[in-house]
Chains A and B, each alone.
Chain A
Amino acid sequence: MCVKIGAQLTQSEELLLRHVRPVWLDDEGHPSSQAFWPFRDIDECCLSTDRAALTTPQASHQLFTSPQPAGCGETSAGVWALAVSEVQAVGLTAWEDPAPAWDARPANPFHAVIEFGESNQSQQKKLGKRLKIFACARGKLYP
C-alpha cells in the first residue's frame, strides 16, 4: 500500500484529474480501463491524480508532460477526471498527497491518490473498469 502524506478527500463533487498515457488510448480516443487502476508494482495500489480544486486540466497536463526539470517529462494523451463521489461509490477512498521535488522532477503540490487498498489485482481491475465508465461519461477535459 502506498504511503500518503495528506488527509482523506471528502468533498464529493471535487474532481480528480487523471492522465491517460498514449498506450492506453485507442485510435479513436477511447481510454482503456488499464488507465484507471494501479497495475504496476511501483504504483503500490494507489492511482495518481491531480486535484482539480487546486489546478486546472491544462496546467496539470503541462506539469505532467513538460520536460524536466520544469515538468515531469511524462507522456499524456489527455486528461480525464473522476469525482470523489464516484471513487467512494465503488468503495475506494481518495487522499491528498502533495509530492515533493525529487531527482529532476519538480514538486507537485496538487497531487492526490485513489487508494485501492488491500484488494487483489483481479478486484482492482474490476474497479478500474467501473471508474473508466465514470470518466468516459464525463469525457476528456484536456486537450
Chain B
Amino acid sequence: MTEDSKKFLTLTFDGGRFASHTVPIDVLAELGTVQQLVTRLARYFYFERHPERHRVPRGFPEATRLYLAASEPNCFSAVLERPYPWAWEGPASELSVFDEARELVIRALGDAQAGRTLPEGLPEQVVDSLTALGQRLNSDESLLIRSPSGDAQVRIDQRSRRMLARITKRPLELEEGIEGEVEVMNDAARRFLLRLPSGEHVEIPFEIEHRARVLEAMQQRPLAKLRAQGTLLTVGKMRMRTVEEIEIVDDERAPEIQKLWTRIDSFVQISDGWFDGEGLAPTERCRLRARAILARLLVDGRQLPKPAVFPNPSGGVQAEWVLGRWAAEVAFDPDEDVVIAEAIHADSGEERAEFFSSGQVTGDSTLPLMSWLEALR
C-alpha cells in the first residue's frame, strides 16, 4: 500500500495514559472519528462543487478510507495514509477535496480554540463529528493533529472541546467510565440515577439484559458500586446518551461491610430473654438502621475501623470502637429515632456525647457522625 498511497495525517496522543507509549484500545476509536470527519467534509466539498449531482462518483467511498500506516512510540503517534483510489472515475484534480477536508478540520478546530465561530455552512453532521473528536481523552491527555508538512496542526483536549461545545451550542460529550451508587431505578423508563462520589447525579439508560445488575447494585449499596462506560453529556443535568458496558464493582471496604451485615443479620435469631432470661431481641427497625448507617459510615470514613457490633439488652443494636484510649459507642435504640453516640476516655474519664437526628445520619450520609468519631482518633 505504501507505494500507492500518501501520508495524510499524523495523530499524536499525549499525556496521561499515553505516557507509557501505549494506547488503550478503546481510544483508538478516535481514529474512526477522524475518518468519519474527513469523509463527511470531503463529501460536503464535492457536492458544493457539483450542485447538479446527487450521488458521489464511483470510487469515492474507497478514496475516503484512511489506513493506519505506522505508529511511533514517542507518546503514541499514528500515521494515517489515504491510498490512491482504485476505481476513481473523476478527474484527479478533484481528489483535492480530501486535502481541503483535512485543512478545514485543523483550521476549524483552531478557530474554535481561539473563540472564533466555525466556517458558515458546515453541515450539522460535520459539526457533530468535530465535537465528537477527543471524547475518549481524559482531562490530562491531548491529541495533536498534524498535516504531513507539519505546517498546520491543532491540539485537542477537554478544554478545547468545551470551547467548541460552547461555540457550536452542543452538549459536551465524553466517552467515559463512571462509577457510583445506584440510588433510583425507573423500570418503566429503563433509566437509573447514579450518584457519583462527588455527590453529582447522572441519569443513565439501561437495556433489559442489564436490569439485574442495576437492581443488585441498588440493593447492595453502599457495598456495591456500579460502573457504566458510555457517552456522557456534561452540559446542564448530566446524563449518559449511550451505554456500552455496565458492571458491578465492590466498594474497597466491601469485605468489611459484608462481615458487618452478616453479624447484624445474625441478630434475627435472637429472641426475648436471650441473656440469662433477660434482654429483649433487637427489633427489625434497629437492625435495618444499624445495617444501613454503619455500612455508610465505613464508606464515608475510610480511616475508621470496622466496629464490633452487639445486640443491646434493651432491644437495640450497639456498635463499639476502641479508638486509642477512647471507648466509643453508637447505639440504635428501639425507642429513639436519634442515633446516640457516646465516648469516654479510659484514663481521664472525659466524656463526650452527641445525638444525631434521623435527618442528620442516614443510609446515604453519615458525615456528622463520621466527623464526631474521627475527632476521637
Contacts and interface: CB of A to CB of B under 8 A. Distances in A.
- A joins B in a complex: yes
Interface of A: 21, 23-24, 26-28, 30-34, 39-42, 89-90, 126, 129-130, 132-134, 136
Nearest to A39: B313
B259 A27 contact: yes
Give the dominant DSSP class at A's interface: helix
Contacts of B262: 27
A132 B276 contact: no
B104 interface: no
A26 B309 contact: yes
Contacts of A41: 278
Contacts of B344: 126, 129-130
30 contacts: A23-B311, A26-B263, A26-B310, A27-B259, A27-B262, A27-B263, A28-B259, A28-B308, A30-B308, A30-B322, A32-B318, A34-B310, A34-B318, A39-B313, A40-B275, A40-B276, A41-B278, A42-B276, A89-B347, A126-B342, A126-B344, A129-B327, A129-B344, A130-B349, A132-B322, A132-B327, A133-B322, A133-B325, A133-B327, A136-B322
Given A27-B263, A126-B351, A32 B320 contact: yes
Given A23-B275, A26-B309, A34-B312, 9 more contacts: A24-B310, A27-B259, A34-B310, A34-B313, A129-B344, A133-B322, A133-B325, A133-B326, A133-B327
Chain B interface secondary structure, helix, strand, loop or mixed?
Answer: strand
Contacts of A129: 327, 329, 342, 344, 346
A26 B263 CA distance: 8
Interface string B313-347: 10000101010011101000000000000101111
B47 interface: no
Interface string B75-105: 0000000000000000000000000000000
Interface string B290-324: 00000000000000000011111100001010100
Nearest to A31: B308
B314 to A, nearest CB: 10
Interface residues of B, number: 27
Interface string B267-283: 00000001110100000
A32 B307 CA distance: 10
B3 to A, nearest CB: 71
A133 B346 contact: yes
A132 B310 CA distance: 14
Contacts of A39: 313
Given A28-B308, A32-B308, A33-B327, A23 B274 contact: yes
B100 to A, nearest CB: 71
A48 to B, nearest CB: 12
Nearest to B278: A40
B322 to A, nearest CB: 6
B289 to A, nearest CB: 19
Contacts of B326: 133
A30 B276 contact: no
B350 to A, nearest CB: 10
A23 to B, nearest CB: 6
A130 B346 contact: yes
Nearest to A32: B310
Task: Give the one of B310, B313, B347 with max A CB within 10 A.
Answer: B310
A100 to B, nearest CB: 21
A33 B345 CA distance: 13
A104 to B, nearest CB: 16
Most buried by B among A40, A133, A136: A133
A130 to B, nearest CB: 5
A128 B326 CA distance: 12
B48 to A, nearest CB: 74
A137 B351 CA distance: 20
Nearest to B262: A27
